[in-house]
Structure 1
Amino acid sequence: MNKKIFSERDICSKFISPALANAGWDLQTQIREEVALTSGRVVVRGNKAHRDEKTIRRADYVLYLKPGIPLAVVEAKDNNHTVRDGIQQALAYAEMLDVPFAFSSNGDGFLWHDRTLQDGVLEREIGMDEFPSPSELWRRYLAWKGIAPEAEPLYTQDYYPGKPARYYQLNAVNRAIEAVTKGQRRILLVMATGTGKTYTAFQIIWRLWKARAAKRILFLADRNILVDQTKTNDFKPFGGAMTKIENRTVDKSFEIYLSLYQAVTGTEEVQNIYRQFSPEFFDLVVIDECHRGSAAEDSAWREILDYFSSATHLGLTATPKETTEVSNITYFGEPVYTYTLRRGIEDGFLAPYKVIRVDLDKDLGWRPVSGMVDTLGQLVEDRIYNQSDMNRSLVLTRRDEIVARRITEFLRATDRMAKTIVFCEDIDHAARMRQALINANADLAGANPKYVMQITGDNAEGKLELDNFINPRKPYPVIATTSRLMTTGVDAKTCKLVVLDRTINSMTEFKQIIGRGTRIDEEHGKLWFTILDFKKATELFADPAFDGDPVVVFEPEPDGSVVPPEEDSEPAAGPDGHDEPLPPGPDEPGAGRVRYVIDEVPVYVVNERVQYLAPDGRLITESLRDFTRIQIGKRFVSLDAFLQAWSGADRKQAIVAELEEHGILFDELAREVGKDLDPFDLICHIAFGQKPLTRRERAEQVKKRDAFGKYSDKARKVLQALLDKYADDGIANIEQPEVLRLAPIDQLGSPVEIITAFGGRAQYQAALQELERALYQ
C-alpha cells in the first residue's frame, strides 16, 4: 500500500485510529479528535476585531482515562513526513494539558515521549501494533503524579456533565483534587478574571462531594452579588443540598453552604453565627476572591478560617496579594495552578484591549492664585496640586465636565450603548461624575434616566440596577459610575469601555479593575475593550508585577498587628456585602486636610495617545506612524524591495495580512492620515515618504488610460465595477471570489456567467492581476 498518496486525515482514519482501538482505547469515551485547545487570539484593528485562526491550537488526538482526565496527546502527519515530525507540536500540547505522554505518527509507527521515565528512556520509536494500553499509561501517570493507590477513587471521580471545561480549567480542577489526595490542607488557585474561577470551584466541590471526601462545604465571599450569582448559576446542580446562610439561626441539615463572611461574623459574640457550627462541621472551606480579606492575619475572614482549621481551605483569586503586610502565599502556599491574563488573551479566551491615555493640564500641576477661596468660602491652601490631589483634596468641577465630555466623544465615535464603567476616587466623585455625564448625554439621558447610573454602596437605587447593568439583554443602565463596588466579582461580559479616573497604587486593585472588561461575549459583539485612562494608571502595565509570578514578600513584625497601608487596602464591605467608604486617607477630609471645591478654574486636554496591545503582549507606545515605519523596515529594506514584493504577489491581501500580524493597523493609519488610502499608499507614504494617492484617484487613473480595451463589452463592465469596488472598499474585497455576488456586479450575471465572459477562471484571474498592476502602475 502506497501511504504517500493519503492525506493526514486518511492516515488518522486508516492507521492511527485502528492502532489506538487495537491497544484497548475506547473510540467513544477515551479518544477525542481535532481538539481545539484555544479559541484563537483576538486581533483588534481600529474599531474592528477578528480571531486569528492561525493561533488556534488544535490537537489531532487527546487520549483520556475518562472525560476530564487527559493522559496523552497524539499528533498526526501524512506519510510524506517522518514519524518524528510531529513530536514538538505534540509536546507543546501535552504541556498545555499537563500530561506526561506525547506521541507523533505518520502511519508507519509512533514516536513516544514519556516524561515518567519509568523505563529510563525519554523517547523511543514503537510499531503501530505497540501503542500502550489505557491501563499502562494510567499506571505510569499515577506514579508520575505521586498519587497513592488508595487515593485513586477520589482522583477518578466523575466531573459534573454539561458545559465542557477548557483545558486550563481541567488543569486547575485536577491539580486541586491531586493536592487533596496528597493531604494538602491549604490550596491556592490563581486564575485571571473572566476565566471561570467559580465554575472551576464548582467542579472541584462536585467531585470531592460525590466522592464523599468532603461531605459538608462552606463557600465564602464578601459580596452579595458573588454569592447570589454563584448560587443561581454555576452551583445550581447542587439543588436542595445547598443553602445560603441569611438568618441568625442556621439549619444544619444542608451539605453545601454559601455565605457572606459579614453574614456570619460581627463585633459581638452573638453575631458570630459560624460558631453555631462545631469546628469540625465543614470538611472544605472555599474562599472566593481570597486576595481581599483572608490575606491579612487580623481580618474577619481569618477568624472563620482559624475556627474551621480542621477543614481543607481552598482559596480562589485572580490577584494574589503579596506585600510586606499581607500574603496569600504565606497562608495558602504556592499556587497549585496559575492561569494569567496574558495567557488568556493569547489563547483567545479573554478580550484584548487598547489604551487611550488622556493628560489634563491641571493634573500636571496647578497652583491657586493668592487669596483664592472655594465654593464653601474656604481659603485654598497655597501649594502645587497635582494628579494625586484631584478629587481627593481638590475638586475642580470643570475637570468633571471635561472628563465626561471625553467619555461621551469616545462613545459617540464608537457605540453610545456600549456598557461603560467609570471608576472614581470615592462615592462623592461618582455622584458628581454621574451628573456630568448626564449633562454631556442630555439626549439619551433625557429619553431614559437610567442611561447613566451611580452604582455605589450607599446608593440603593443604583445597587438595584447592578443586575441590569451586567445583563447583556438589558440595554440600561449603559454608563455606571462607581468607586469600589464594581472593582471585583461583577461579571459584566459586555463592558466595552473601562474609564480610570481614580488613583490606583495597588497592582491587585488594578488587575481587578482591568478584569471588568476582559470577558468575551461574541453573541453580543464583545471581543475587545478600551481603557480610557485619566490617571496614568495604565503605566502599571509596564510593571514587572503585572502578570508576573507572585513572590512572597511577607515580613510580619514579631507580635505586631498586621494592618495594610491605606493606599494598598481593599474596599471595605458592609454587612450586606456592599462597599462602604474607606476611612479617610492622609489627603482626604477627616484626616487633617480639608477638601476644596472650585467651580471657575477651566481644565483642558493637553495630550492624548492611543496604545495598542502588540502580538508579543506588550503595549505599543510609539506613535502609530513610527511603529509602522519600524515594522515595515524590518520586512522591506527599501522601497524597491517593497514594490518588487507587492508586484510579485498573486494576492496583495496576503502582504497586508502578514503586516497586520506584526501589529500594523491600516484602518487606524488611514484615519490618522485622513484619506481613503490603500495599504499600498499608506506603506509608501509613511515608510518611504512617497506622495500618496487615494483609492478613488488610483481607480480614475486606470479608467482614463482605458486599460481594458481588449476585453469584451461584458468583461469591461465587470472590470469597471471592480474598480469602483476598489475605490469604495479597498484591494482585499476585489480579491475575494464573493465579490462577484455583490451589487452591482451581480447585475451583470451569475459568477459562472461572468467568468465565462473572460474565457474561463484562469483568464478571469489573469484579468484581475492585470487590473491590480494597472492600479499600482
Structure 2
Amino acid sequence: MATGTGKTYTAFQIIYRLWKAGVKKRILFLADRNALIDQTKRGDFRHFKDKMTVVKNRIVDKSYEVYLALYQGLSGTDEAANAYKQFSPDFFDLIIIDECHRGSASEDSAWREILKHFNKATHVGLTATPKETETISNSEYFGDPIYTYSLRQGIDDGFLAPYRVVRVGLNVDHEGWRPDKDKTDKDGNIIEDRIYNRKDYDRTLVIDERTDMVAKKVTEFLKGTDRFSKTIIFCVDIDHAERMRSAIAKQNSDLVRENYKYVMQITGDNDEGKRELDNFINPEERYPVIATTSKLMTTGVDAQTCKVIVLDSNIQSMTEFKQIIGRGTRINEEFGKLYFTILDFRNVTDLFADRAFDGDPVRIKTATEDEDLGDVKEEEEAIVDVEPIDNEGLEWQEPETPYGEDGTGEFIDRDYVKREKVYVNGVDVSVLISREMYFDNNGKPITVSLKDHTKEIIKNQFATLNDFLGKWNDADRKAAIIKELEEQGVLVSALQDAVNKEVDLFDLICHVAYDQPPLTRKERANNVTKRNYFTKYGEEARQVLSALLDKYADEGITTIESTEVLSLHPFDDYGSPVEIIRMFGTKDKYFEAIKELENQLYQSA
C-alpha cells in the first residue's frame, strides 16, 4: 500500500480482530528503525495498552501478548546476544514485518534467521515499495501480495496529496565543471584536472557556491509561498546535510535568530536533530520547519504537514525514490496540507516516467528448480533497484546487514570507511533554467500551461458559462462540484497559487475557462454586507451569519457548508452547534439560511 494510505492501521485492525477472537494469542511487530517502533506504539497500536511491550536492551519478559521489537534488539553478532532464541519457536502466532523490502528481505540476511526461528507463525509483510531484484524477492518469501493500493489510486481517491515539480538546473550540473589550470582546493592542494558533474558533487567534490545556490533557491521558493511550510531537504550524506543546514540558516538568518530550530540537521549521528524528529512531524509543533537529512527520514516518517520535498541527492533506486516522495503525500486538511511541491536539483524526478514508479515490480530473482514463477514473462524488462553506492559519506565495505545496529537504520562506521572529499570555492554557480511541472490524473506531466489544462477539463464538463452557472446554482452543496472537478484533474490549490489565492474556485473557473473577471472572496463578502439582507433574521442568527461570511472571506465556500465550522471560534462564543442551529428554528431552516447566504454571495454571477 502506498505510503500514507494506512499500512500500520490496517495491520492493527488485522491483529486486533484475530487477537480478540483468540485465533492469534501472541503477536510480534518487527521493524528496523526506532522511529517506526515509537510511532507505531504511540499511534495505531496504542489501544493494546498494558498488553503491549517494546523489547529493549535484549531483555525478554514473556508475560505480554503484543511485542514490538527491532531486529537489532533481538539479534546480534554474538550468539549470546540473540534474544529471539529466548522465545520458543511456537511462542508467536503472528508476526508483522514492517518495511519488509528491507532488513530481512534478503535470504542471506542475518535478520532472516529471526523469521526462520518463528516459522510456525503467520508472517505478514508491509511495504509501500516491494523489492524484486536479482538477489532479493519479497514475492519469493511472502507470495503474491494479498492487497495492493497504489500512489495513483490514493491521489485519485483523495487520500493522498497530489504534487507539482519545480526543476532547477544549475550551470555546473548541466555543463559540468572543469577547474582552471592550477586551481587549488580549500586546503591548497591542486585539484585533479577533469570534468566534474552531478554525480561528483557533494560525494567526492564539494562546491561551496553550489550548496549556497540550492539554499538560496529553496529560500526564495518558501518566501514566495510560506516560510513556515514544513520542508525536508534530502542530501547526499551527513556532511552534505550539515553544510546544507548552515547554508539554509544563513539564508534565513532573521527566522533563525527568532528560533534556531527553524532549520535542523536530522541525521543518524546528530542526537539533537533526532530528538527533534517527533516535533518536526507533529502538526501542532511549529519548529523545526526545515529538516536537512540524507537517509534517516526516507522511510516511516509520518510527516503529515510536509509541503516541500527538496531533492539534492543522486537518487537512483526506485524504492528509495518512492519512499522519499511518500514523505509528502499525506493530507491534513486541518492544517491546509492538500498538495505538496518537489524542488528537484538533480533531475531525480525523471523516475516518475519509469513504468515501475506506480506499478508492482516484476519478479526477476533467479528461480531454483523447485520454484514456480507463475505468470512472470521472460520478455518483460527486468526492473532492478540500484542501491546507492554509498550512504552518509561512507564507502561500501561488505556490511553484515543493510542497516546498522544502532537502532536508527543508519549505516555505521564498523561496516564502512570514511570517503575523502575535495572542497572548493570561488566557482561561478548560476541557475540555467527553472521549470514548473504539474501532473494529470494518470501521472503524466501536463505539457500545456496549468490554466489551459484546467480550461480543457472544465469545458469538457461544461461547454458554456451558462452550463456551469446552472450546475453551480442548482447544487445543494458547492463542495460536491469542487470535489467532482478535483476528481477530473483540476489542481485547485496549485491553480489558486498561479492565479490568485484570494479567490475561490467559482471565480477561478469563471476566469480561467470563460474569461470572466474574478472577484476576491472579500469583495463578494463585502457586496453581501452592503445589501444588508441579514435584517430578516433575529439578532443572534444575524451574528452567526455575519461570522460565517467572515469565514467564507478567509477560507472559502466549503468551510461554511459544513456544520463542523460551528465548533470553531468565534462560533463557540454563541453556544454549541445544536444551540446555534436552534437560533434558526430547525436544522432545515439553518441550511436554508446557508443556501440563501450562498445565493447572495454569487448573486452578481
TM-score higher than 0.5 here? yes
| Whole-Å separation in 1 of the counterparts to 2:510 and 2:305 | 36
What secondary structure sits across from 2:113 in the alignment?
A: helix
The structure with more strand, counted as a fraction of residues: 1
| 1:747 alignment counterpart | 530
8 Å contact kept, 2:37–2:69: yes
Structure 1: 5+ residue runs without aligned partners? 1-190, 637-641, 686-693, 696-725, 754-764, 773-777
Q: Which amino acid aligns with 1:576?
A: D
| 1:329 alignment counterpart | 139
Residue-by-residue CA offset, 1:688-725 (whole Å, 9 max, x unaligned): xxxxxx94xxxxxxxxxxxxxxxxxxxxxxxxxxxxxx
| 1:601 alignment counterpart | 427
| C-alpha distance 421-308 of structure 1, shift in aligned 2 (>3 A) | same
Aligned length: 506
Residue-by-residue CA offset, 1:546-602 (whole Å, 9 max, x unaligned): 1112321112799xxxx98643899954333114347899xx9856xx422111112
Match of 2:29 among 212, 219, 230: 219
8 Å contact kept, 1:589–1:595: no
| 1:45 alignment counterpart | none
Residue-by-residue CA offset, 1:396-426 (whole Å, 9 max, x unaligned): 1111111111111111122111111111110
| Whole-Å separation in 1 of the counterparts to 2:204 and 2:181 | 18
Match of 2:49 among 239, 247, 261: 239
8 Å contact kept, 1:417–1:478: yes
What secondary structure sits across from 2:388 in the alignment?
A: helix
| 1:477 alignment counterpart | 288
| C-alpha distance 633-235 of structure 1, shift in aligned 2 (>3 A) | closer
8 Å contact kept, 1:243–1:256: yes
| C-alpha distance 557-566 of structure 1, shift in aligned 2 (>3 A) | farther
Matched, 1:567 2:397: no
Query: By how many angstroms is 1:527 displaced?
Result: 1.6
| C-alpha distance 342-650 of structure 1, shift in aligned 2 (>3 A) | closer
Match of 1:341 among 151, 158, 180: 151
| 1:578 alignment counterpart | 408
| 2:210 alignment counterpart | 399
| C-alpha distance 469-605 of structure 1, shift in aligned 2 (>3 A) | same
| Whole-Å separation in 1 of the counterparts to 2:69 and 2:163 | 34
| Whole-Å separation in 2 of the counterparts to 1:649 and 1:373 | 66
Query: By how many angstroms is 1:495 displaced?
Result: 0.9
| Whole-Å separation in 1 of the counterparts to 2:245 and 2:422 | 20
| Whole-Å separation in 2 of the counterparts to 1:589 and 1:597 | 19
Query: By how many angstroms is 1:455 displaced?
Result: 0.5
| Whole-Å separation in 2 of the counterparts to 1:284 and 1:628 | 49
Q: Which amino acid aligns with 2:215?
A: A
| 2:236 alignment counterpart | 425
| Whole-Å separation in 2 of the counterparts to 1:281 and 1:633 | 63
| Whole-Å separation in 2 of the counterparts to 1:202 and 1:668 | 39
Following superposition of structure 1 onto structure 2, how do residues 137-286 of structure 1 map, counting pairs within 5 Å? 191-286=1-96
| C-alpha distance 452-291 of structure 1, shift in aligned 2 (>3 A) | same
Structure 1 length normalisation: TM-score?
A: 0.59
What secondary structure sits across from 2:435 in the alignment?
A: strand
| Whole-Å separation in 1 of the counterparts to 2:471 and 2:121 | 64
| Whole-Å separation in 2 of the counterparts to 1:481 and 1:346 | 30
| C-alpha distance 748-331 of structure 1, shift in aligned 2 (>3 A) | closer
Query: By how many angstroms is 1:512 displaced?
Result: 0.7
| 1:312 alignment counterpart | 122
Specify the structure having the higher radius of gyration (Cα): 1
Match of 2:98 among 288, 294, 299: 288
Q: Which amino acid aligns with 2:177?
A: W
8 Å contact kept, 2:455–2:512: no
Q: Percent identity?
A: 54
| Whole-Å separation in 2 of the counterparts to 1:340 and 1:267 | 38
| Whole-Å separation in 1 of the counterparts to 2:40 and 2:467 | 58
Which aligned segments of 4 or more residues in structure 1 are displaced greater than 6 angstroms?
568-571, 582-585, 628-636, 656-660, 677-681
Q: Which amino acid aligns with 1:346?
A: D
8 Å contact kept, 1:219–1:288: yes
Residue-by-residue CA offset, 1:244-295 (whole Å, 9 max, x unaligned): 1113331222222111101111111111111112222222221111111122
Structure 2 length normalisation: TM-score?
A: 0.75
| Whole-Å separation in 2 of the counterparts to 1:464 and 1:438 | 19
Q: Which amino acid aligns with 1:610?
A: E
| Whole-Å separation in 2 of the counterparts to 1:743 and 1:633 | 30
| 2:196 alignment counterpart | 385
Structure 2: 5+ residue runs without aligned partners? 370-383, 393-401, 474-480, 502-506, 537-598
Query: By how many angstroms is 1:648 displaced?
Result: 7.8
8 Å contact kept, 1:455–1:480: yes
Query: By how many angstroms is 1:300 displaced?
Result: 2.7
What secondary structure sits across from 1:274 in the alignment?
A: helix
8 Å contact kept, 1:501–1:534: yes
What secondary structure sits across from 2:285 in the alignment?
A: coil
What secondary structure sits across from 1:289 in the alignment?
A: coil
Residue-by-residue CA offset, 1:302-346 (whole Å, 9 max, x unaligned): 111112222221111111011122111111110011111111111
Higher relative contact order (CA 8 A, sep 6+): 2
| 2:440 alignment counterpart | 614
8 Å contact kept, 1:455–1:482: yes
8 Å contact kept, 2:391–2:411: no
Matched, 1:451 2:262: yes
| C-alpha distance 407-650 of structure 1, shift in aligned 2 (>3 A) | closer
Query: By how many angstroms is 1:382 displaced?
Result: 1.8
Residue-by-residue CA offset, 1:172-193 (whole Å, 9 max, x unaligned): xxxxxxxxxxxxxxxxxxx111
| 1:91 alignment counterpart | none
> Root-mean-square deviation (CA), in Å?
3.6
| Whole-Å separation in 2 of the counterparts to 1:409 and 1:604 | 14
Residue-by-residue CA offset, 1:44-87 (whole Å, 9 max, x unaligned): xxxxxxxxxxxxxxxxxxxxxxxxxxxxxxxxxxxxxxxxxxxx
